[in-house]
Structure 1
Amino acid sequence: MLFHYHMWTPFVEETERFYEQLGFQVTQRIGKQDGVFTSFDPPLDWEDFRHQQILFRIVEMKRGAINITFGHGKKIIFDHIGFLVTEAERVVTLQRAETLGWTVQANERRTFIQTPYGFRIELQTHLDAIESRSGDQLLQLEIATPKSGLAAMLHQLLERPVPEITTSAAERARLTQVTFSGNHADAAHQQDPNGVEVVTVSGVQR
């Protein structure tokens, strides 16, 4: 199940505020202060630390079956997408990735596959990465890449069609549009601070 995407951005606070207005809740903030990684999780808010010198490594936000993360970067960079899988699915997917010659990075918490399309794919087996399987869902991502063949690659990697990922051409990999299910009618079509078109579709479940 597609559930996640991650970006680097110079607009960390603005991005958090944008998704907060769409009903997402902050579940984690980790930032580097004076050379040390420190937690700034809720109930702390930006008023508590805005004027401190903090470089946020990750801000995590959840809504239903959707998980979004972002961290501070000098420019906007699309980093990875994530699929929630079983352990058995993770194992066979990694075998297919290795057959394709792609680099795999794995630890106890997350597994990443480096694709030749300018972004990574995360395989997540822990259900606490989302609030609820039955909640709002990440229905579709549109990814622009400089290399053709992404749809076929995903089909080969996951051994199924992947209609939840659509593609277009660009000079560099970037996330252009996301579609959520939900009942936020007042936010049916907006653009986040990173130029991503955010579409909300009511009453749709995958």
Structure 2
Amino acid sequence: MLFHYHFWTPNLEETERFYVNNGFRIYQRIGKYQGDFQNFDPPLVWDDFREKDILFRIIEARKGSINVTFGYGKKSIFDHIGFLISKKEQERICENASQMNWAVDRGERRMFITTPYSFRIELQTNKDIVDSMTDNIKIEELRLEAMKKGLEGDLSILFGKPVNSIKSIIGETVTIRDAVIKDFLSKPLVDPNGVRILN
């Protein structure tokens, strides 16, 4: 199940405000402050720490079975998408990735596959990464802009089946153009990093 995307962005506070204003809740904020990684989680708000020189590594917003994360970057850069899968599926996908010569980075809580399309794929088996597995609110489709053809075909090989939740167009950059979210109650909106959110 497609559940996640991540951006690096200079627009951290604006990105957080956008998602909160559209029904997401902030689950955590982790940033480097005075040399150490610290939590600035809710109930803290931006007024509590805006004047501090914090380099935010991750801010996590959740709604239903959707998890959107963002961290500080000098410009908006799309980093990865994430799929919530079983451990058995994870092993099979990692085997497929190895056969495709796609690098697999096995972490304690998650795995990342580096694609030749200039973004990564997170494989997550921990269901506690989302607020609800039964909620109707979910990512139905992400429309990615890529700089080369073949993404859908390669994802079919990687996952061993068609991945209908990912569509691609060829363009000048690598990013998410559209996120189609089921039960997103607002009219189409564009987040501060250029992702158009559609119902």
TM-score (norm. length: structure 2) = 0.98
Q: Which residue identity does 1:24 align to in structure 2?
A: F
Partner residue of 2:53?
A: 53
Cα deviation, residue 183, structure 1 = 5.0
Partner residue of 1:156?
A: 157
Partner residue of 1:130?
A: 130
Cα deviation, residue 102, structure 1 = 0.8
Partner residue of 1:91?
A: 91
Verify the 8 A CA contact 1:5 1:80 in the aligned structure 2.
Answer: yes
Verify the 8 A CA contact 1:144 1:167 in the aligned structure 2.
Answer: yes
Verify the 8 A CA contact 1:118 1:172 in the aligned structure 2.
Answer: no
2:105 is equivalent to residue 120 of structure 1: no
Following superposition of structure 1 onto structure 2, how do residues 1-206 of structure 1 map, counting pairs within 5 Å? 1-135=1-135, 136-182=137-183, 184=185, 187-200=186-199
Unaligned runs of 5+ in 2: none
Residues in 1 aligned to 2:69 and 2:123: alpha-carbon distance in whole angstroms: 15
Listed one character per residue, the Cα deviations across residues 31-61 of structure 1 (whole Å, up to 9, x for unaligned) are 1111211100011010100111111100001
Residues in 1 aligned to 2:54 and 2:195: alpha-carbon distance in whole angstroms: 25
Listed one character per residue, the Cα deviations across residues 104-123 of structure 1 (whole Å, up to 9, x for unaligned) are 10111010000000100000
Structure 1's consecutive aligned runs of 4 or more residues displaced over 3 angstroms after TM superposition are none
Listed one character per residue, the Cα deviations across residues 94-147 of structure 1 (whole Å, up to 9, x for unaligned) are 000000001110111010000000100000000001111111111110101111
The residue matched to 1:122 in structure 2 has which SS? strand
Listed one character per residue, the Cα deviations across residues 42-90 of structure 1 (whole Å, up to 9, x for unaligned) are 1101010011111110000110000000000000100000000000000
TM-align CA RMSD: 0.8
Residues in 2 aligned to 1:95 and 1:171: alpha-carbon distance in whole angstroms: 31
TM-score (norm. length: structure 1) = 0.94
Verify the 8 A CA contact 1:146 1:173 in the aligned structure 2.
Answer: yes
Listed one character per residue, the Cα deviations across residues 135-172 of structure 1 (whole Å, up to 9, x for unaligned) are 11111101011110000001110111111111011122
Q: Which residue identity does 2:189 align to in structure 1?
A: Q
Q: Which residue identity does 2:181 align to in structure 1?
A: F
Unaligned runs of 5+ in 1: 201-206
Verify the 8 A CA contact 2:27 2:60 in the aligned structure 1.
Answer: yes
State the percentage of identical aligned residues.
Answer: 47
Number of positions where the alignment pairs a residue of Structure 1 with one of Structure 2: 198
Residues in 2 aligned to 1:19 and 1:182: alpha-carbon distance in whole angstroms: 14
Cα deviation, residue 29, structure 1 = 0.2
Verify the 8 A CA contact 2:87 2:125 in the aligned structure 1.
Answer: yes
Q: Which residue identity does 1:10 align to in structure 2?
A: P
Residues in 2 aligned to 1:106 and 1:28: alpha-carbon distance in whole angstroms: 23
